Structure 1
């Protein structure tokens, strides 16, 4: 029996963000934590203790899965935010997704 708790795709490196993002999204969906990572499922009020603890545990689970799917060279980007899956996801996007100007700046 294969271990489905670990991703079956290459870890994120300097060259594979686009592919990794798609694979990781699908993986987090199978773990039922994508809504949290994508920001669709917002954190409940801390006063709702049972609901908050479930959300927190799912957040930590998602963060652990994301961290485990990074090559060592990529872990520096999430240093200090390893327990916040939403911030980790946003930071990795910021680092790897190039913001390219359109053709309006193309020299002819």
Structure 2
């Protein structure tokens, strides 16, 4: 169970870091740049802890899938970057893939 808690926190840090990456303006703004480095460092550390109990392929699929969805929502809410229909369909397929892995994969650690 702790693996999934670490994974959730890692995803949150990754989304915050990626959102700050946009705000860093190519690492030309100090504050957001520091947030990026700190969040990505914490993300990698937490993901390493996740891999002690959750299979790598499953953990990475959940991390990447949910990260993409949450970053897209962050871009919409914070930067007003709307997704077109094709992008929304793609995000929906990513969500579907994560759900299929979580619900039906035999490789999940329970």
Shared fold (TM-score greater than 0.5)? no
Q: TM-score, normalised by structure 1?
A: 0.38
Bigger proportion of residues as helix: 2
Q: TM-score, normalised by structure 2?
A: 0.38
**Which of these two proteins has the greater Rg computed from alpha carbons?**
1
